[in-house]
């Protein structure tokens, strides 16, 4: 009998995490769920732990540790809490692959620890590569670790590259839905609400990425993610708005041939492929029906109105800690928008100011990233208080 794949899911209570559990549940004889973790949602973590009986659970929010531990006392499950625990639990011998489904900068250190422990990574947490792509990809190479993309666009590119890894990429096109505010004017964007911004036209996702999609920062983060995953230069990465989100992205090779990967917008397929590469396992995921999509359309993104996309290209061109700064500012401004402390257009405006005013450290160490993340957050908070 073939050995089961030992899996750790960091962020099992989120949108990607819960869908990953559906994938795991469909193959009980092939996956061995070792670790699940949550930020604050203790109730769901407990429910998942009882259902899936992993070896270990972590609740990052320390105030909920006793509750989780007491509730799971009769189960043979290790319970830990805090950020440091995330970095430790990924190192367990039984784990083959770590799915990074937590959101934001919090993903960086656990991912690095998993890489240092020589675990393959199924990467949903794009911020890890945005913040520290240089360090993370170097460490992955040094440790012989594969990083399999989960993000739908990067999974699409990766699927197009299977059997083509020896061929040179001329260019890739990342498709963007354009978000809920595609086609809006400046005046309209001035008065959009949090509730409107949280309504993505095609995908049901966590709050932070949904706001990022609305500001097109998500596409900017994905451009940087693609640079590191596929070793591309900025001019080899283009963004095309495709409102239907059916073509998940495209690769153009040196002979001019283009390959695209398409399907209904459903994250379970990219999650599963990241866990089963190079194999495809039979699923009952929804199938594509051409008659549901009589027209697939394309347009240029509006880079003047959706400034975050350009800021991401600028950060990528600058290199060093520039993207770490942009990401930090964006995490603060998105949270402030979600708390209704700033308006929609303030997000990109403050991100731009923080990028302009923060120095850039080149050839950064992990300590440099940690410091620049902290200082960039502080500067973003200062900018918000000045509004």
Ligand X SMILES: NC(=O)C1=CN([C@@H]2O[C@H](COP(=O)(O)OP(=O)(O)OC[C@H]3O[C@@H](n4cnc5c(N)ncnc54)[C@H](OP(=O)(O)O)[C@@H]3O)[C@@H](O)[C@H]2O)C=CC1
From the CB of 157, what's the least distance to ligand DXP, in Å?
12
267 binds ligand X (CB under 6 A): yes
From the CB of 340, what's the least distance to ligand DXP, in Å?
22
Residue with tokens 């197009």, as numbered in its chain: 160
User: Measured between alpha carbons, how far is 6 from 113 in angstroms, rounded to an integer?
Assistant: 17
Within residues 197-256, the interface with ligand X by CB under 6 A covers 203, 205-209
Determine the distance from the C-alpha atom of residue 312 to the mean position of all C-alpha atoms in its chain, rounded to a whole number: 15
Q: With contact defined as beta carbons under 8 Å apart, do 111 and 143 qualify?
A: no
109 binds ligand X (CB under 6 A): no
Within residues 206-265, the interface with Mn ion by CB under 5 A covers none
Query: 108: burial class by Cβ within 10 Å (0-12, 13-18, 19+)?
Result: buried
Q: Please check if 218 is assigned to a binding site.
A: yes
User: Measured between alpha carbons, how far is 37 from 18 in angstroms, rounded to an integer?
Assistant: 11
55 binds ligand DXP (CB under 6 A): no
Residues 6+ apart with CB under 8 A from 217: 211, 308, 309, 312, 330, 334, 347, 348, 351
**Considering CB distances under 5 to 8 angstroms, the limit depending on partner class, which of ligand X, ligand DXP, Mn ion, none binds residue 177?**
ligand DXP
From the CB of 40, what's the least distance to ligand X, in Å?
4
Q: Please check if 219 is assigned to a binding site.
A: yes
From the CB of 295, what's the least distance to ligand DXP, in Å?
18
Backbone angles phi, psi at 135, to 5 degrees: -65, -45
14 binds ligand X (CB under 6 A): yes
Q: Please check if 11 is assigned to a binding site.
A: no
CA angle 292-299-285, nearest 5°?
A: 35
Q: With contact defined as beta carbons under 8 Å apart, do 103 and 206 qualify?
A: yes
Per-residue x/- marks for ligand DXP, 205-244, CB under 6 A?
--------x----xx-------------------------
**What per-residue string of b and e applies to 251-264 under the rule 16 or more CB within 10 Å gives b?**
bbbeeeeebbbbbe
151 binds Mn ion (CB under 5 A): yes
Backbone angles phi, psi at 386, to 5 degrees: -85, -10
177 binds ligand DXP (CB under 6 A): yes
Query: DSSP readout, 214-269?
Result: HHTHHHHHHHHHHHHHHT--GGGEEEEE-TT--EEEEEEETTS-EEEEE-SS-THH
Beta strands in the chain (DSSP E): 5-10, 31-38, 56-59, 78-81, 97-100, 120-123, 147-149, 169-176, 237-241, 247-253, 258-262
134 binds Mn ion (CB under 5 A): no
**Considering CB distances under 5 to 8 angstroms, the limit depending on partner class, which of Mn ion, ligand X, ligand DXP, none binds residue 133?**
none
Number of residues that bind ligand DXP (CB under 6 A): 11
352 binds Mn ion (CB under 5 A): no
From the CB of 179, what's the least distance to ligand DXP, in Å?
5
Where does this chain touch Mn ion (CB under 5 A) — which range of 150-158, 295-303, 304-312, 378-386?
Answer: 150-158
Where does this chain touch ligand X (CB under 6 A) — which range of 36-44, 139-147, 171-179, 287-295?
Answer: 36-44
Q: Please check if 245 is assigned to a binding site.
A: no
Return residues touching ligand X (CB under 6 A).
Answer: 11, 13-17, 38-41, 60, 101-103, 106, 124-127, 151-152, 203, 205-209, 267
In the complex, the residues that contact Mn ion under the rule CB under 5 A are: 151-153
Residue ranges of the annotated binding site for 1-deoxy-D-xylulose 5-phosphate are: 126, 152-153, 177, 200, 213, 218-219, 222
């Amino acid at each position: 009998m073939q050995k089961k794949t030992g899996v750790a899911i960091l962020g099992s209570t989120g949108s990607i995490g819960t869908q990953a559990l559906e994938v795991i549940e469909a193959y009980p004889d092939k996956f061995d769920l070792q670790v699940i973790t949550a930020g604050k949602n203790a109730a769901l973590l407990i429910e998942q732990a009882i259902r899936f009986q992993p070896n270990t659970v972590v609740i990052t929010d320390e105030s909920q540790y006793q509750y989780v531990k007491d509730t799971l006392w009769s189960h043979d499950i290790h319970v830990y809490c805090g950020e440091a625990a995330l970095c430790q639990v990924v190192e367990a011998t039984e784990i083959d692959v770590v799915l990074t489904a937590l959101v934001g900068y919090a993903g960086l250190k656990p991912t690095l620890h998993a890489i240092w422990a020589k675990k393959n990574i199924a990467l949903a947490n794009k911020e890890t590569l945005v913040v520290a792509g240089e360090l993370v990809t170097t460490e992955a190479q040094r440790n012989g670790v594969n990083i399999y993309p989960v993000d739908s666009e990067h999974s699409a590119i990766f699927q197009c590259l299977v059997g083509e890894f020896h061929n040179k990429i001329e260019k890739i096109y990342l498709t963007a839905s354009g978000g809920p505010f595609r086609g809006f004017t400046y005046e309209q964007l001035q008065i959009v609400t949090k509730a409107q911004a949280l309504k993505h036209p095609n995908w049901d996702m966590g709050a932070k990425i949904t706001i990022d999609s609305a500001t097109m920062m998500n596409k900017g983060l994905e451009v940087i993610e693609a640079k590191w995953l596929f070793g591309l230069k900025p001019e080899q990465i283009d963004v095309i708005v495709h409102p239907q989100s059916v073509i998940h992205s495209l690769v153009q090779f040196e002979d001019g041939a283009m390959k695209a990967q398409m399907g209904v917008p459903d994250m379970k397929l990219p999650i599963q492929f990241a866990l089963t590469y190079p194999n495809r396992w039979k699923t009952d995921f929804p199938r594509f029906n051409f008659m549901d999509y009589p027209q697939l359309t394309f347009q240029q993104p509006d880079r003047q109105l959706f400034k975050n996309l350009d800021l991401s290209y600028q950060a990528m061109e600058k290199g060093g800690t520039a993207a770490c700064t942009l990401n930090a500012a964006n995490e603060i401004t998105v949270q402030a928008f979600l708390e209704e402390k700033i308006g929609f257009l303030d997000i990109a405006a403050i991100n731009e100011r923080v990028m302009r005013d923060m120095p850039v450290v080149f050839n950064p160490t992990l300590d440099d990233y940690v410091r620049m993340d902290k200082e960039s957050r502080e500067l973003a908070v200062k900018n918000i208080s000045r509004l």
